[in-house]
Amino acid sequence: MDIESIFLPGIAPARPVIIAGPCSAETEKQVLTTAREVAAQGIKIFRSGIWKPRTKPGGFEGIGTIGLNWLKRVKQETGMYVTTEVANKEHVSEALEAGIDILWLGARTSVNPFAVQDIADALRGVDVPVLVKNPINPDLELWIGAIERLYAAGIRRLGAIHRGFSSYDRKTFRNPPMWYIPIELRRRIPNLPMFCDPSHIAGKQDRIALLSQQAMDLQFDGLVIETHSHPEEAWSDSAQQITPEMLEHMLNRLVIRSADHLSQRLLELRYRMDQIDEGLLDLLARRMQISDELGEYKKTHDMPVLQTSRYSEVIERRTELGETLDLDPEFVRKIMKSIHEESIRRQMTVMDQELQGWR
């Protein structure tokens, strides 16, 4: 995919590119006050939601079209670029007419191929940067599909925003990051600019700095951070917005590591890790050979493939062993679950061989 630079004139591509501003445009005063404060820190791109798709009706669903005039004032008074979310072709038309510099598709839009296609059709022939947030559910193909639809419509200045994924388990994060998904997206589309939205992942102010640092350590290109002059008064998502002062403090503490320096020590550690990975694969292959033998034995002795008590025993014992080796119990359970599922699949294949003549 031939992705062109999304960076507009005056914005250095050096990491991190910061996009900051309130979750929602609420009043003209609130928008302009916040914009002036973040502009004073050297921020070049101001974000604010005009149309806000909500989970349930009755909540604040955005100030609407009038907010576009406030963003125009932000551009005129501060010189910042402005960006907002679009969820349908009418939003696209109004945003472009208002001179919005960058558009983004939200998680509730990117999950819907019909909505993405309508937006892509509305953007056909338009040269504007478009950022695509990951879908609500952890579906990499759906995320890539949204990007491909825009690309097929002729949009070349594309980027992705990782904002975490919906989950029933919200003990630590509002939307768990599941970092392996954006990492795989970067592997599949290497030249796609990647932004992290730590605000939506965290759900709370006190976790935004940590997530921002993790995103930088994973070589993300930029951050989208919800920033409000008075977060405690925000009409939406007040818990995850920070003040401009907090933003400045956090950015000053970010550590930006270089990916270019490959020391001898790093090469040595990678070599050792590669050797261990190869050993793990060899051990897994040998384990699966035993699974095949188990399948043969169970078939010969008319035994069922699945024996729940044995599975529970294996999981419990391996988890306990993992803890003694300083391995996270949930990590061990996930590994053993995957290994067991493959073992059962192979044993079922052995059993099915007996049925070939019936078909």
Q: How far is CA 330 from the centre of its chain?
A: 22
Tell me how far apart the alpha carbons of residues 213 and 211 are, in angstroms, rounded to a whole number.
5
Q: How confident is the model at residue 356 (pLDDT cuts 50, 70, 90)?
A: low
Q: Highest-confidence range of 180-194, 260-274, 288-302, by mean pLDDT?
A: 180-194
Mean pLDDT of 178-195: 93
Are 291 and 311 in the same domain? yes
Mean pLDDT of 33-58: 90
Q: Is residue 2 pLDDT above 60, yes or no?
A: yes
Tokens of 338: 């995957």
| Greater pLDDT, 144 or 54 | 144
Q: Does residue 124 fall inside a structural domain?
A: yes
Q: Is residue 274 pLDDT above 70, yes or no?
A: yes
Tell me how far apart the alpha carbons of residues 279 and 131 are, in angstroms, rounded to a whole number.
41
Q: How confident is the model at residue 147 (pLDDT cuts 50, 70, 90)?
A: very high
pLDDT of residue 172: 79
**pLDDT-wise least confident of 76-85, 181-190, 212-221, 259-268:** 259-268
pLDDT of residue 262: 59
pLDDT of residue 170: 65
Tell me how far apart the alpha carbons of residues 193 and 219 are, in angstroms, rounded to a whole number.
10
Q: Does residue 146 fall inside a structural domain?
A: yes
Are 228 and 103 in the same domain? yes
Q: Does residue 7 fall inside a structural domain?
A: no
pLDDT, averaged across the chain: 91
pLDDT of residue 15: 86
What share of the chain in percent tops pLDDT 70?
Answer: 95
pLDDT of residue 354: 59
Q: Does residue 5 fall inside a structural domain?
A: no
Q: Which of 222, 253, 284 is the last residue of a domain?
A: 253
- Rounded-to-10 torsion of CA 322, 328, 334, 337: 20
Are 94 and 141 in the same domain? yes
Assign 199 to helix, strand or coil: helix
Assign 81 to helix, strand or coil: strand
Running DSSP on this structure, what letter comes out for residue 138?
A: S
φ/ψ of 332, rounded to 5, equals -65, -45
Q: Does residue 65 fall inside a structural domain?
A: yes
Tell me how far apart the alpha carbons of residues 266 and 155 are, in angstroms, rounded to a whole number.
39
Tell me how far apart the alpha carbons of residues 174 and 121 are, in angstroms, rounded to a whole number.
33
Tell me how far apart the alpha carbons of residues 93 and 126 are, in angstroms, rounded to a whole number.
11
Are 315 and 175 in the same domain? no
Are 172 and 296 in the same domain? no
Q: For 322-346, give the DSSP string.
A: HHHTT--HHHHHHHHHHHHHHHHHH
| Greater pLDDT, 3 or 332 | 332
Total number of domains constituting the chain: 2
Q: Which of 253, 278, 313 is the last residue of a domain?
A: 253
- Angstrom CA distances, 116 to 106, 239, 281, stand at 10, 29, 40
CATH code, domain carrying 274: 1.20.59.10
Are 135 and 105 in the same domain? yes
Are 346 and 248 in the same domain? no
Are 273 and 235 in the same domain? no
Q: Does residue 259 fall inside a structural domain?
A: no
Q: Does residue 346 fall inside a structural domain?
A: yes
**Beta-carbon count within 10 A of 132 CB:** 27
Are 61 and 147 in the same domain? yes
Q: How far is CA 112 from the centre of its chain?
A: 16
pLDDT of residue 310: 83
Q: How confident is the model at residue 359 (pLDDT cuts 50, 70, 90)?
A: very low
| Greater pLDDT, 319 or 267 | 319
Q: Is residue 271 pLDDT above 90, yes or no?
A: no
Q: How far is CA 222 from the centre of its chain?
A: 13
Q: Is residue 208 pLDDT above 90, yes or no?
A: yes
Are 108 and 143 in the same domain? yes
**pLDDT-wise least confident of 47-56, 146-155, 315-324, 331-340:** 47-56
Q: Is residue 355 pLDDT above 80, yes or no?
A: no
pLDDT of residue 83: 98
Are 27 and 117 in the same domain? yes
Q: Is residue 171 pLDDT above 80, yes or no?
A: no
Tell me how far apart the alpha carbons of residues 185 and 143 are, in angstroms, rounded to a whole number.
9
Q: Does residue 228 fall inside a structural domain?
A: yes
Tell me how far apart the alpha carbons of residues 324 and 345 are, in angstroms, rounded to a whole number.
30
Tokens of 107: 């998680």
Question: Comparing C-alpha atoms, which of 53, 49, 54 is closest to residue 31?
Answer: 49
Helices (H), the chain: 28-39, 66-78, 89-97, 107-110, 113-123, 140-152, 180-188, 198-202, 208-217, 244-253, 264-300, 308-324, 329-353
Residue-range definition of the domain harbouring residue 277: 264-358
CATH code, domain carrying 76: 3.20.20.70
**Segment 21-35, tens digit of pLDDT:** 999 999 999 999 999
Mean pLDDT of 295-301: 88
Q: Which of 214, 229, 253 is the last residue of a domain?
A: 253
| Greater pLDDT, 10 or 129 | 129
Are 279 and 238 in the same domain? no
